Amino acid sequence: MALLTSFTSAAPTIKRQTYTYPPQSTSKNFKLVANVTSGDLAINNFVLESYHTGAGTAYAVLAENTTEANPRIFYINGTATEVRFGTSSTLSDSGSAGSSFPEAVVITPSDPATSSSGRSVVEINAGAGQPFVGLTTFPAPIIEFHGYQGETFYACNTTLQYGNAIQLFYRGYSQETPAGCSDVALLPQCSEGSGVDDEFAATVKCYPDVAVLEIYNVESLIDDEPFELLLELIVKEPQLDCEGFERSKNWDLSNDNNAETFTKPLQVNVPSSE
């Protein structure tokens, strides 16, 4: 995959950018695979599972994608309009054909800004689902799982009732990921169904194999190059901003700390200036 590859030390002549997106397919069913965008937890390509906590309730956790893994198979439940505008819900069937019941990805509270801890717990609970929990659609350059307002998922190694697990959380833009945890993008990998015919499952875009993708966080690109040059590039090429970056509400071009506001994966190629 193409990356933001090169800058020049002098004032550059900004050329039109060429976008290269990873190959996509379509399916009614998908698994969610973690791509670490910041932090040091070795959980890249871990899959989303459920961690049973009670009757019809479970935490969302990440597990290594081995033969012992039991990844949940999800589908988007909603009309075409609901899917397009993100108001659909994300379900996963439990039980067997003829006696299955839906379980849904639920973020509690849906808006982490309303939580006293500044974060939300992600669960997979029996029920009809929660709106605004689904997959991004065009023009987003990367298909990924989102919650309310498209904020940030992160994972932590926590102690639960049966031992340690990599638990999934959701935080707001103004909150920080706790030390020792890692921000993750959850990418949909196309999957066969769970054996249950879901009449209202939407056909969505997904990746044939997330493990072969190379998705990098913009922060990793800001090392030796002047940050001002990156800002100049964004200002002159506004489509980079709307298609590839998350910008803070209080944008200050003179503040190098704005580097931390670039939190979404980006695939873009910037040719060297001649």
What is the domain-level CATH number for residue 110? 2.80.10
Per-residue pLDDT at 141: 80
Q: Are both 124 and 233 inside the same structural domain? A: no
Q: State how many domains the chain has.
A: 2
Rounded to the nearest 5°, which phi and psi values hold at 271?
-65, 150
Of 159, 192, 211, the residue at which a domain comes to its end is: 211
Per-residue pLDDT at 78: 85
Contact 84, 137 (CB under 8 A): yes
Q: Are both 155 and 244 inside the same structural domain? A: no
Total length of the chain = 274
Burial string for 38-71 (b: 16+ CB within 10 Å, else e) reads bbebebebbbbbbbeeeeebbbbbbbebeeeeeb
Of 167, 193, 211, the residue at which a domain comes to its end is: 211
Per-residue pLDDT at 84: 82
Per-residue pLDDT at 133: 93
**In degrees, to the nearest 5, what angle opens at C-alpha 49 toward C-alphas 37 and 265?**
15
DSSP-derived secondary structure letter, 265: B
Domain that holds residue 85: 25-211
Report the alpha-carbon distance of residue 20 to residue 156 in Å, rounded.
Answer: 32
Burial class (CB in 10 A: 0-12, 13-18, 19+), 206: buried
Contact 191, 30 (CB under 8 A): yes
Q: Are both 3 and 17 inside the same structural domain? A: yes
**In degrees, to the nearest 5, what angle opens at C-alpha 248 toward C-alphas 244 and 254?**
100
Token pair 């950018």 in the structure block, residue: 17
Q: Are both 87 and 133 inside the same structural domain? A: yes
Per-residue pLDDT at 96: 63
Per-residue pLDDT at 255: 40
Per-residue pLDDT at 159: 95
The CA distances from residue 69 to 49, 125, 179, in Å, are: 8, 19, 27
Structure tokens at 104: 């849904």
From first to last of its 274 residues, the chain has per-residue pLDDT tens of 333 333 344 444 444 444 456 788 999 999 999 999 999 999 999 999 999 999 999 999 999 998 888 999 999 998 888 888 878 899 998 866 666 788 999 999 999 989 888 899 999 999 888 999 999 888 788 899 999 887 899 999 999 989 999 999 999 888 999 999 999 999 999 998 765 567 778 999 999 999 887 654 433 333 333 343 444 444 334 444 333 333 333 333 334 443 333 333 333 333 344 4
